[in-house]
Structure 1
């Protein structure tokens, strides 16, 4: 739903409407598709404002916060690209997580991603401490794991998980800690929910703490081809098709 607030003669008029509707109020106000046209002959005002939606994907580096304001020493989203002022991230990645982040000012698209009922798939590459076992992978898949969420026990939903070879990805800066004589291994984990630090809590619960975590897809939006710190703008058609 699009919405607008028009302040006229000291009154506030508010209305919501579907993006494919045309609604006419009177000779001074017209709504046409996703454009708001206001004509006010009394004040000799002829103003046209278009609600333009923007869509971006960002390969978030380790150590960057998913926000635009912070301390002077913080690495922030605005350090990498000059986004429009009304664009924000859709969900978050932890400061110590990397990978695909979607940013937009389209609230309808945000709902498609964040509404739990939509069960939008999110896929991660996870490097864990130790040689992960098939038993641990089964536990990650079958929804038997309990984690702490907001101070309470929470049983996670079933997920997709498989052991994968070391992926051909850029090195992290700084590199992960390496323990002598202790191997590491990689899994690909796909979730349809996103509790706070859920992936890390899940791998720790099966005995293999997360060392490195990268989100590589959201719906059908892929991180592939985007270098660390790079931003790519998507068209509305591309964004909606990938998140249908």
Structure 2
């Protein structure tokens, strides 16, 4: 079984949390029994999370050798220059080494998304833009670190695709079974 789930903002990619106070987890969304996340999505990121009950499939989806594309929409502070987009496309140097090249493009209009709770802070004097980034690595907070490295801090991050699975029409907290890759 392979499940596409739209993980809301500030939800952990696990079913329990032992911290005090406890944070929201996957347990509250009525997911099928015995599924677990194939990979992860940061607590403060939103969007597509794949879950499965098949260990071999989870490994295939998350192992870096399989180069599974992951596509994100990133709302960034500022307006990217051609040089900043080129740097993202060529790969940037992070504190844990250089990234592989990414597909990066400026979205001409902001994507139609659900409201985030709490909303992204709005600053009248600072422009923001939306980028679409596709990577096939899975380092910790990689997209946020990449955009920051080129001078475009991420304000909101939504994963919209992983391999052939897409978020398409799922509201936050909703899930559906999808064909296995």
TM-score (norm 2): 0.94
Q: How does 1:162-241 map to 2 (within 5 A)?
A: 162-164=105-107, 165-234=109-178, 238-239=179-180
Pick aligned residue for 2:11 from 60, 64, 78: 64
Q: Distance in 1 between matches of 2:95 and 2:35?
A: 31
Deviations 1:67-106 (A, max 9, x none): 111146311001111431x311011111100000000111
SS in 1 for 2:58: helix
Q: Please report how far the alpha carbon of residue 128 of structure 1 lies from its aligned counterpart in structure 2 after TM superposition.
A: 0.1
Q: Distance in 2 between matches of 1:88 and 1:76?
A: 12
Deviations 1:40-60 (A, max 9, x none): xxxxxxxxxxxxxx2211100
Q: Distance in 2 between matches of 1:55 and 1:200?
A: 27
Q: How does 1:84-95 map to 2 (within 5 A)?
A: 84=33, 86-95=34-43
* Structure 1 ranges of 4+ moved more than 6 A: none
Q: Distance in 2 between matches of 1:61 and 1:162?
A: 24
Q: Which structure features the higher share of strand residues?
A: 1
SS in 1 for 2:95: strand
Q: Structure 2, unaligned stretches of length 5 or more?
A: none
**8 Å Cα contact 1:147/1:155 also seen in 2:** yes
Specify the alignment match of 1:74 in structure 2. Answer: 23
TM-score (norm 1): 0.71
Deviations 1:144-198 (A, max 9, x none): x11123xxxx100011000002011111111001122101000000001010000
Q: Distance in 1 between matches of 2:169 and 2:132?
A: 18
Specify the alignment match of 1:105 in structure 2. Answer: 53
RMSD, aligned CA: 1.1
Q: Distance in 2 between matches of 1:82 and 1:209?
A: 33
Q: Taking CA–CA contacts closer than 8 Å with sequence separation of 6 or more, which of the two structures ends up with the larger relative contact order?
A: 2
Q: Please report how far the alpha carbon of residue 140 of structure 1 lies from its aligned counterpart in structure 2 after TM superposition.
A: 0.3
Q: Structure 1, unaligned stretches of length 5 or more?
A: 1-53
SS in 1 for 2:74: strand
Pick aligned residue for 2:103 from 156, 160, 164: 160
